[in-house]
Structure formats: structure tokens, C-alpha cells
Amino acid sequence: MEKVILPEILIVASPENQDVQSVLEYLKKKYPHKVVYVFDLSLFPTQICYEILINQGTIAITHYQNDIVLSLEKLHSIWWWQPQIPKLSSSILDPEHARFAYIQCCQLVEGLWYILDCLWINHPERQEIALNPIYQIVIAQKAGFIIPETLVTSRPETLISFWEKHHHKMMYHQMIPIAANQEDLKEEDMEEPERLQLSPVLFQPHIHCKNFLTAVVVGDFLLLAQYCKNAEQFIWKQVAAENLRDLPTKIKKLMALLGLSYFQVQLGIDDKENYIFFSLDPLGSFLDLENQTGVHISEVLAELLVRGYGIKLPKIWPGLDVIA
């Protein structure tokens, strides 16, 4: 016999994810009657079926998984958190058939995200745009942050000129949006600059900073933490927003421009007290920061999901000319 569930909160993530487990633990303890469902996208389409019935003035969305039926009519919040990708049936052997099936699955999933009108943390489309390092730098500058001079190129001659301009003291950043850290550009890396023609890379000069900060944004909540030495190790320690001048205002503006309700920002403070933007991550785990600062970020995020409202986001992604 089928069991019908009417979830109010949908978490699109792997059930094994530790951030997800932390939020679920809090929700189960404080809101035992709140209906929460974790949707593992890797189970679609082999173990999960979807049905979208569109009629004049109505849309009915139903999720089938074994003997469980989910109706999304009461859904008010979605947490999109490091989801897997659809896993196709091993019975599809032809690569072209597999490609076709995968595109069809993605079209259905993306269609769901476009039509579900609720609180998103974060909307997949906005998150995908925000992961682009070039876009991050431009938007950070518009929010009032100082940015290092940045070169994105696949032209060896341009790189050599930039390298000389900054006295051989540079960093590089791969254009992969997830888990791409800045690395030192070494002399040996410049021995074969023609390799750059194979793939573009983002370059920035070294910036001397006396302090490093991370900011965690969850709805209207802001955690600011400074990288400090504690005994023999470095840890993140919470700092008061009022001690950092106009930084909260800049971050609030950055949030509005990005259209995100959760993200982390990595910043530096130079000798002139300027805030230097380095990178932004809308998918960064918060558990280490939570453990080191003692601030319960998972509880803040859970409460935002329960409220089901937060930031009023525009329906259409603004172009740079609109937000300039």
C-alpha cells in the first residue's frame, strides 16, 4: 500500500552529507511534526519517478519512490545542497541513447526548479551563475570590495607580460567552479607558457593582507570570523560586525546582487584597512566554522527553512547593466 507524504521542506542532497545530517537532527528535535524529505537526485530516474500534470490554472507535481508518494502541494522551502546527478540505468548501452536520456532527465529536474515557487537555499540557476569566478569578481567590485587586478587568458604572450608586471609574484585559479583553490604561480610553471593555449586560467598578483576573514551568510544572518593562531594551529574565531566598519553593508549588497540566501566569502584586510575580495562559495560546508566559532549555523539554516520565507528575490536574473 502506498504511503502519501506532503513535505513542507525538501532537501535535495545526499542523505549521508554531514551538513544535512546536522540540520536534520535539529529539525527533528525542535520541529518533530514538520514534514521534511531528503531527495537523493542520484536515485532518479532508476528508483524515482516524477509526474507533472499541467492543466488550465493548475500544476500537480508527484514524486514516486517505491511505496512512497510525495505530493508537493504543501512545499514551502527547498535546500539545494551539493546534490548528486541523475544516475541512468546500466541497460542503456549506446552513448547517444545515454546522452539523450540524461538530457531528458535534466530537463525534467530543471523544469521542476523553474516552476516551484518557494524559498530556495539556493536556487540552482542562481547558484550556477554565482560559482563562475569571473562573475564573482565583477559582482564583488560592484558591491564595493577591492579586487586584485585579474587576468583571464589563454594567450601566452599576455601571461608573460602580466608575470613581468607583477614581478613574478602571482597566483592562479582554475576555472573549475567547485573545489578550485588558488595556487602560487612558480617559475617552473612559466617554463612552457604555450601550454596555456590548451585551457584558459585566471591569474592575480599576490596581495599582502594583515588579516583574513570569512563571512557566512544565511538569509539575514551574518557570521564574520577571523583566521587566528591558537596554540600551534590556525582556527576561525568569531568577530563582532561593528568592529569591521562597513563590511556588513558590502556583504548585504553582494547578497542582493547575487540573489543567493546562503554563501561564504573569503576576504583579506590590507594595511590600509581595505577589504580585498578573493572568492565566494555558495556550496561551502559550514561545520568546521560552526565547531570552531561555536555559532550554530545549522540551526540558523534550519530555522530559515522552517519559516519558508526570507529574501525576496527578483524573478528574472538581472544583467550587469541593470545592477550597475
Q: Identify the burial level of 272 via C-beta atoms within 10 angstroms of its C-beta, where 0-12 means exposed, 13-18 middle and 19 or more buried.
A: exposed
Residue 244 within any structural domain of the chain:
yes
DSSP readout, 33-56?
TS-EEEE-GGGTBTTEEEEEEEET
- 8 and 73 fall within a common domain: yes
Domain containing residue 290: 127-145+208-323
- 189 and 318 fall within a common domain: no
Question: Nearest 5 degrees, angle CA 299-CA 305-CA 308?
Answer: 140
If you count them, how many residues does the chain have? 324
Encode pLDDT of 218-262 as tens digits.
Answer: 998 999 998 876 656 677 888 887 778 889 999 999 999 999 999
* CATH at residue 180: 3.30.1490
- 106 and 12 fall within a common domain: yes
Cell of 324: 550597475
- 286 and 200 fall within a common domain: no
Q: What is the pLDDT of residue 114?
A: 87
Residue 214: CB atoms within 10 A of its CB come to 19
- 105 and 184 fall within a common domain: no
* pTM of the predicted structure, to 2 decimals: 0.87
Per the DSSP assignment, residues forming a β-bridge with 267 are 213, 277
Count the domains in the chain: 3
Residue 122 within any structural domain of the chain:
no
Which one-letter amino acid corresponds to residue 267?
L
Encode pLDDT of 60-75 as tens digits.
Answer: 889 998 888 988 889 9
- 192 and 288 fall within a common domain: no
Q: What is the pLDDT of residue 309?
A: 63
